[in-house]
Amino acid sequence: MHSETPDPSPVPDRDGAAPDRPDPLIVVGEGQGRVVPAPTAAPSSSHDAGGDPDADIDGVDPEAAEPPTLVTVDVLAGWLGLAPVEDLPPVPGGPAYAQPGRCRPNRVILLDVRFRATGGGPDHAAYLQGHLPGAVYVSLPSQLAGHAGPAAGRHPLPDARQFAETVRMWGIDEGDTIVVYDDDHGLSAARAWWLLRHAGLRDSVLLDGGLEAWRAAGLPLQPGEVIPVPGTARPSWGRMPVVDTAGAEAMASGGLLLDARAAERYRGEVEPFDPVAGHIPGARNVPTAESIAEDGRLRPAAELAERFDAVGVDDATPVAVYCGSGITAAHAVLTLAVAGRPGVALYPGSWSAWVQDPSNAVAVRDRGWVRGLAVHPDTLLHAPFGVADNLEDGPMSTAAASRPAPSRVPGPSPAPVPGRACSPRPCSWWGSPVARSRRTAARPRAPPPLRRRTPRPRPGDSPWRTPPSGTPRGPRCPPW
């Protein structure tokens, strides 16, 4: 962390001209580094609106993902009026990168999207310790996603009106250039880039290399919270192509469906987040993490184009991408745009929404063996099935298939899905201690029987038995 706190005033343009908008930030307490909004004029009526009208939802824009989509550290430092300490590689050529001579932003808005998709969640504490000068913190679960549900997945798209208010809360005005970054090689910040493009804000780019490249260049960081003045931008929702569960199934059969998850999750060997392992039948695996070089920056556009051409991506084939919950799939859409393939559709619900439908099939490994999710609808959410046993041998033998399938779920056995083979062997999850405890907790239990309270002996009581009331008194006898 650097000792000097940079000036968090509005970012001038490349020529050093002051912005037309008044200074929206005032530093309060040099030691705390907290930034609060300065007094401004009363907002206009359009700013006070709770959301954008329905007329602003115009539909898909074929050029919504057009370049530039990336900005390098040295170009961004020039926009901010900073000089890198270390020598940086030259700006890659091509339209995907913002060039210093062609891009002249009027004002730059920085968004810090720190979120660990593989575990840990948002990291607001690290943001408070140090971030890019003037960067506003963005919470991915609450600001870049809606309410999770079985049909929508773990990270569905946010509501259009709510996201419009969120964009204005970040201090974004019409014509601003928005730079998003994170500390996870852009895997989380690409979700913000995709949503901004989906909302019609085409002047949004991703910082190539993220916070790691910024630190490697010796550029300063600013501690504390940044609270900007609300902006006046009016997004138009629905610009990027999107497919639902039925569209993803149609894309897998009639187009090209890409799986952006890791190879082991695609093969069904492991599934750390969702109840069922495997992939959508017909999908091709292109892990988006392999598009990142060792230094944390995106690989060259020509290398990315070769990688996608090898799986059949071309101009004549419609393409859609999915991942676990729609986060890293947005990074795959960005990577395809850098490779010269914009217009790729996103499946927001992704695998987390696909496995919640019992009628959807699940493919395991690359041997063409498809296993249907023929389970009871009432037990799908709390009693999911994992990968079936003995998958190395491909389809099961005739003798194994002829054996009667054990009952997996309580109640009547559901009818199997036509044309989709189901494994008769119960998975290992069904016999795990967690599954047994859930089944035991779901069973109705009778109330415990009432127990008769036995009075405690008081001091001074005789050890001899006392006959019950109503019996003739006689000589007391010892207990034996």
Instruction: Check 323, 422, 427, 477 and give the catalytic one.
Output: 323
Distance CA 179, CA 336 (A): 19
Sheet of 256-259, strands arranged across: 284-285, 256-259, 319-322, 345-346
CB-based contacts of 338: which residues, under 8 Å, 6+ apart? 67, 69, 70, 96, 298, 301, 304
Q: What are the residues facing 110 on neighbouring strands?
A: 179
The alpha carbon dihedral of 89, 95, 101, 106 has a sign of negative
- 68: cis peptide before it, omega within 30°? yes
- The CA distance from 109 to 8, in Å, is 11
Residue 62 contacts by C-beta under 8 Å, 6 or more apart in sequence? 343
Classified as helix, coil or strand, 330 is helix
| Beta bridge pairs of residue 458 | none
Half-sphere exposure of 317 (CA within 13 A, CB side): 16
- CA distances 33 to 124, 132, 179, Å, are 15, 13, 22
- Take residue 267 and report the two structure tokens written for it: 């093969």
From residue 12, give the alpha-carbon distance in Å to each of 23, 34, 134, 175, 369: 11, 21, 12, 14, 58
- The HSE-up count of residue 296 (CA atoms within 13 Å, CB side) is 19
196 CA to centre of own chain? 15
Kindly give the pairing relationship between strand 319-322 and strand 256-259.
Answer: parallel
Q: What's the angle, vertex CA 27, arms to CA 24 and CA 28, rounded to 5?
A: 125
Cα–Cα distance, 349 to 355 (Å, whole number): 10
**444 CB contacts (<8 Å, ≥6 apart)?**
none
Is-catalytic flag, 103?
Answer: no
Positions marked catalytic = 323
